[in-house]
Amino acid sequence: MISKKTLITRDTFDKLILPIYNPASFVPVKGKGSRIWDQEGKEYIDFSGGIAVTSLGHCHPLLNKTLKNQSKILWHVSNIFTNEPALKLAKKLVASSFASRVFFANSGAEANEAAFKLARYYSNKIYNTKKNRIISFHNSFHGRTLFTVSVGGQSKYSDNFGPKPLGIIHAVFNDINTVKNIINHNTCAIVVELIQGEGGIIPATIDFIQELRELCNQYNALLIFDEIQTGVGRTGKLFSYEHYGVTPDILTLAKSLGGGFPISAMLTTNEVASIITPGIHGTTYGGNPLACAVAESVIDIVNTKKVLSGVTRKSMRIISELNIINNRFKFFTEIRGQGLLIGIVLKPSISYKINKILNFSFLEGVIFLTAGNNVIRLAPSLVIKECDIIEGMKRFYHALEKCLL
């Protein structure tokens, strides 16, 4: 616990930080595994995973060791050089995916920005300048830059920042007919999340994704999978697209890739990359040696049968516990998602209490997220211990009890 003399509280945030966020009243100061502690020494079981980021929990010993070792060798060299950690990470991502080429950046928004720019640039060079339309989906989320937030299908994030980029149109997720009604030969790309995260933890159907691939082939459009939230083991496969039997042209990763260290990646094929020349895009910190070294260790740990099969097993245990809880309270209409990206859909009669449920959960010492107005989201560590699952669900039960009072 921090000394009272040095305590920096939530009130300090209100005085100093731009009020873009509305953080919880407690301030975490320490983390280990799937547990964190606040300034008062109170312990919490973390089912939020830093919004699907801390894929190996807090302060994983191997990641600590990797970061410490790399920090003694090379921190940063800029993109006028390459570096060994970036090359080693790229080699492993290519070896384990459909891709032949990798671009590193720092956030999911940057990876998606690069993907959307690449799609338009490719179509401009290979076809013509009119082939620039991007199809996305209502309730999707692809980042906070002006381009990515416009491609995202939630106007509440893009309104009042206009004028918005042109050539973006939205279809209905999991409804292939709405895509067929708007796709044409001026479409350069379709971008889709395999599970809509911020939109409510809604998985894409296999038929829908396969038909998107067919439409892209028919209209010479690129298929972009946004796996910012689903990639790197989150769904029980290293990449979620492996569940669908469909290969994209471009794939974006972030969140779990660095296990908490900021890094993202855009993966693509040699064909799409063939039009790239030096200088058309870039980022100062992309491919940073520290970030790439940590991410390589994440891939080494996650891309194993033990961890990936464990994701499926842990998911089943959590869902089993949630069903037991729901048998008591009857608060949930559905539990959906895949692997360790789980959405608890609240009944309309209880959904207005979603923030109260989260606050009661905090008081009981367990941390969840929301996804939309009626979904509680779980995105815990991929290696969360069974004892933490059991204790966390027990605390959640007690939080829901308080909602009945």
Please state the residue numbers annotated as binding site. Answer: 108-109, 141, 144, 226-229, 283-284
DSSP code for 205: P
| Short-list 158, 144, 151, 142, CA closest to 226 | 142
C-alpha to C-alpha distance for 279 and 282, rounded to whole angstroms: 7
How many CB atoms are closer than 10 A to CB 218? 11
β-pairing verdict for 222-226 and 250-253? parallel
Separation of alpha carbons 322 and 368, rounded Å: 13
**In 243-353, which ranges are continuous DSSP H helix?**
270-273, 289-302, 305-329, 348-351
Q: How many Cα neighbours within 13 Å face the side chain of 230?
A: 29
Instruction: Looking at 75-107, list the stretches that DSSP marks H as alpha helix, in order from N- to C-terminal side.
Output: 84-95
370 Cβ neighbours under 8 A, 6+ residues apart:
354, 355, 358, 376, 377
Question: C-alpha dihedral over 319, 152, 144, 262, to 10 degrees?
Answer: 50
Distance CA(342)–CA(148), nearest Å, equals 24
Could you list the residues known to form a binding site for pyridoxal 5'-phosphate, using ranges: 108-109, 141, 226-229, 284
Cβ-proximal residues to 180 (8 Å cutoff; 6+ apart), any chain: 215
Could you tell me which residues are annotated as the binding site for N(2)-acetyl-L-ornithine? 144, 283
* Distance separating alpha carbons of residues 186 and 347, to the nearest angstrom: 42
CA distance 207 to 221: 18
As a whole number of angstroms, the distance between CA 252 and CA 197 comes to 14
**Cα gap 5→46, rounded to integer Å:** 28
- Which two structure tokens, joined as six digits, stand for 316? 């089943």
